[in-house]
Amino acid sequence: MKKQILAVAVAGAFAIPAFAAADSSVTLFGQLQTQIVHHSASGDDGQFDSGFRQHDAGQAGSPTDGQGPNRIGVMVNHDLGNGMTALAKFENDFTTGAGGGDNVGFNGPQRDIYVGLRGDFGQIIAGRMTSSYNTAGKDPLNGTFMQARVQGGRQGGLGGFGNGGYVDRGVRYSNSFGIVSMDVGMFLDNSQDGRAAWSGRLNFDLDPVEVYVAHVDARRYENSDADTWRTTKIGADWSAGPFRLNAEIEDFKRDAGIAGPEAEGNTYWAAGTYSMGRNDFVLSLGHTRLDDANNSDFAALAIKHSFSNRVMAYAGVAYNSTDDAGGNFDDTTSTYDGSSDLRFTGVGAGMRVSF
């Protein structure tokens, strides 16, 4: 009985503001995913413990979570009249149980937390948010163990500025002009006046294909005094009937800073999807070339089944090959040292429920 009363009270707390004024709406939303994956490795000198693991996201060969889809949040819209809307969003990350440990529950405010205005002038938001560079959702396997951004297919979090990352102290403006839409962002570094990172993206709707280009420059953010810290991408999203094709090329050059050691090179990624009824068949391929460092290749093959627009199950296999990356394995960080080639394979299935 107490649990029922608590549930009614929580629901009422979110529902009452929506009825309190006709010009306001409050939406509670969330998403939960878990998966079971068999991970195996070769070239690791027997350091990696192959076997089944249950986790939320991760990647092929990684027993830890990361870059996952789990979230719960509140979205507020308040009609100000004259075509203008005030908005606020709070979105929190959580895990159902990391594959390499016992971390379960909320992980702090790791997603969107912002306020903003939307109208004929476009939309402007301020707070914590993704950068303009983020296009993580273009990957049809985003958030699963087969996602490309963490295993040699696309750039990952990059200290918040990459695909699926979140950055503090941001201001972003977006608007559409016919077939062109734009998104620009500035992210302040409070440690010193005049220090900030910048991001931008242009999308061109050339039906049946969308072409986009994005760039981020973070050489003066979070006390980083790098001479160069930039990443640029060009991508295309084409669809016709049951077929869809996504492709991206990313070029990066970064001195040591907020996202790790010095890196320079290119990332190539493509994914093809064929839809048949409620089933999507996906093939995803990627390659990362690093100057004077190890290169990696990635491939994934999957099937996704949509029970509804809010419930999805998936199964598949992901493979990652990295040159000169093997050696001793640290199970808590999923990293190696050494000079041998390393091969990871993940085979598994999962389920995602949204509300």
Q: Which residue has the higher pLDDT, 3 or 173?
A: 173
User: Mean of the pLDDT values across residues 263-276?
Assistant: 94
CA distance 332 to 66: 13
Residue 78 has pLDDT above 70, yes or no: yes
- Between the alpha carbon of residue 5 and those of residues 17, 19, 72, 187, 300, the distances in Å are 19, 20, 21, 43, 46
237-252 residue pLDDT tens: 999 999 999 999 999 9
Q: Give the CA angle between residues 143, 147, 152 to the nearest 5°.
A: 140
- Does pLDDT of 229 surpass 80? yes
Is pLDDT of 4 > 80? no
Average confidence (pLDDT) over 103-109: 61
**What average pLDDT does the chain have?**
84
| Distance set, CA 76 to CA 18, 44, 100, 116, 141 (Å) | 9, 49, 36, 10, 29
Confidence of residue 256 (pLDDT cuts 50, 70, 90): confident
Pick from 106, 84, 86: which is nearest to 95 by CA?
106
What digits encode the pLDDT tens for the residues 21-58? Answer: 558 899 999 999 999 999 998 876 667 788 898 888 88
Position 21 scores a pLDDT of 53
Percent of the chain with pLDDT over 90: 56
Residues 3, 175: Cα–Cα separation, whole Å:
45
The predicted structure's pLDDT at residue 336: 45
- Token pair, residue 260, equals 């790790």
Q: How many CB atoms lie within 10 A of CB 142?
A: 21
| C-alpha–C-alpha distance, residues 199 and 177, integer Å | 19
| pLDDT-based confidence at residue 15 (cuts at 50, 70, 90) | very low
* Whether 63 contacts 95, CB under 8 Å: no
- How far is 295 from 322, CA to CA, in rounded Å? 6
Sign of CA dihedral 309, 163, 260, 186: negative
- Split at pLDDT 50, 70, 90, the class of 186 is very high
pLDDT of 206 over the 60 cut: yes
Domains of the chain by start residue, with CATH: 25-354 (2.40.160.10)
pLDDT of residue 23: 82
Name the residue among 102, 98, 107 with its Cα closest to residue 166.
107
Confidence of residue 233 (pLDDT cuts 50, 70, 90): very high
Band the pLDDT of 343: cuts 50, 70, 90.
confident
Of residues 148 and 45, more confidently modeled: 148
Query: For residues 255 and 263, is the Cβ–Cβ distance under 8 A?
Result: no
- Kindly report, residue by residue over 281-329, the tens digit of the pLDDT: 999 999 998 886 678 899 999 999 999 999 999 999 999 988 765 445 4
Whether 303 and 280 have beta carbons less than 8 Å apart is answered as: yes
Structural contact between residues 212 and 234, judged by C-beta atoms closer than 8 angstroms: yes
